[in-house]
Chains A and B, each alone.
Chain A
């Protein structure tokens, strides 16, 4: 029977490295995925993921348990990602905007493209790695805050309440930010879908 996160955290606090290892193994792939989505570089994403768990280990005594462990973990991960992005931007002499306003395109130009082309079974459509890379590219076009919220929602399946706790924003902001992020992503992915996924339409059935 799987041991719950809180029990593992308590044991890890007492110095039980095996408990901490179980926590790491439970979340390592998802943390890496979120980091990859944010920093867009595999090596840096791995570095961020390792650093996030190292911070978890160092600050485990400070985890109060008033939120779930994984919201705290992802908060640390996102902060580590933001640090990386800031350092990268400062090297390039850029200023990173985290509150970029996104113009919402509510035109009907791309409506139904994704649903029609990809159907309700995305697994079939992702037989080609190319599409996964397109998703990564499209995500990279988003501002960091929108990227973060989409990743946490889609990869971890976080509720709006957990998203609010992780990102330390009101629930209403979660709703609007996620909506804007999805609309922008939809536009980018629909453009790709329209350019040609090279799929046999019968595969969608």
Chain B
């Protein structure tokens, strides 16, 4: 027993693996021929395991479901500015949902690129030029044109609009000789004069849209 006195305090660090290599070797030599100290080591190890398993069992009993929320309820966090909240949310997305964020950004970039090119490809089409039915490539005005619309109601609610070149009609009328028909007043305004011309001279012909 007296010979064991110097070894007993080392049994605790021995089972914890905290002895120096030389100390461990000396103790193992003693344990090789001391059954009492070997029994003490067994007791320490059994007790150590008992403590660990016993407390794990006790720690399994409570419900930790709302534990974090209760912790945060004790804390009064400083209110972050809107910018800081936004910055934090974005950085959290990149940390915890990196793959989803990267693929979303790529998809959005591609969609933006396609959408931008489609928008830029479309020319500005004034209203009334049937842009819903076809793609208008060019609109040209003819400054010297003097036109009046001829509206014809077609079937199925459709409407055909012809633009009649007054100057051409007038020139044609002038070329056939005067019939005593005075130059219709308000010709340039193109409101009611078209009704005074013979039908054959009212035949519309096409022109540039």
A-B contact pairs, 13 of them (CB 8 A): A14-B91, A16-B88, A29-B56, A33-B56, A119-B46, A122-B46, A126-B57, A135-B51, A155-B55, A155-B56, A185-B51, A186-B43, A186-B47
Determine if A96 is an interface residue (Cβ-Cβ < 8 Å).
no
Are B39 and A179 in contact (CB-based, < 8 A)? no
Closest chain-B Cβ to A105's Cβ sits at a distance in Å of 11
Closest chain-A Cβ to B114's Cβ sits at a distance in Å of 35
Closest chain-A Cβ to B25's Cβ sits at a distance in Å of 18
Known: A17-B72, A120-B46. A151 touches B55 (CB 8 A): yes
Query: What is the chain A residue whose CB lies nearest that of B74?
Result: A54
Which of A33, A54, A123, A132 contacts B71, CB < 8 Å? A54
- Residues in B with CB closer than 8 Å to A135 are 50-51, 54-55
Are B49 and A122 in contact (CB-based, < 8 A)? yes
Known: A57-B75, A126-B57. A186 touches B44 (CB 8 A): yes
Known: A111-B39, A115-B45. A136 touches B71 (CB 8 A): no
Per CB-CB distance, the 9 closest pairs between chain A and chain B, nearest first, are A115-B42, A112-B39, A122-B49, A154-B51, A54-B74, A135-B54, A132-B54, A179-B12, A33-B59
Closest chain-A Cβ to B26's Cβ sits at a distance in Å of 16
State how many residues of chain A have any CB contact under 8 Å with chain B: 64
Query: What is the chain A residue whose CB lies nearest that of B11?
Result: A179
Are B59 and A36 in contact (CB-based, < 8 A)? yes
Known: A25-B68, A135-B50, A159-B18. A190 touches B55 (CB 8 A): no
- Residues in B with CB closer than 8 Å to A123 are 53
Interface with B: A45-53, A67-75, A85-93, which one?
A45-53
Closest chain-B Cβ to A80's Cβ sits at a distance in Å of 12
Determine if B62 is an interface residue (Cβ-Cβ < 8 Å).
yes
Chain B interface: which size bin?
Answer: 35 or more
Are A176 and B9 in contact (CB-based, < 8 A)? yes
Determine if B95 is an interface residue (Cβ-Cβ < 8 Å).
yes
Determine if A201 is an interface residue (Cβ-Cβ < 8 Å).
no
Closest chain-A Cβ to B179's Cβ sits at a distance in Å of 93
Which of A32, A139, A178 contacts B12, CB < 8 Å? A178
Are B12 and A125 in contact (CB-based, < 8 A)? no
Determine if A64 is an interface residue (Cβ-Cβ < 8 Å).
no
- Residues in B with CB closer than 8 Å to A145 are none
Known: A16-B88, A16-B92, A135-B51. A114 touches B46 (CB 8 A): yes
- Residues in B with CB closer than 8 Å to A139 are 51
Determine if B174 is an interface residue (Cβ-Cβ < 8 Å).
no
- Residues in B with CB closer than 8 Å to A125 are 50
Closest chain-B Cβ to A83's Cβ sits at a distance in Å of 15
Which of A37, A113, A189 contacts B55, CB < 8 Å? A37
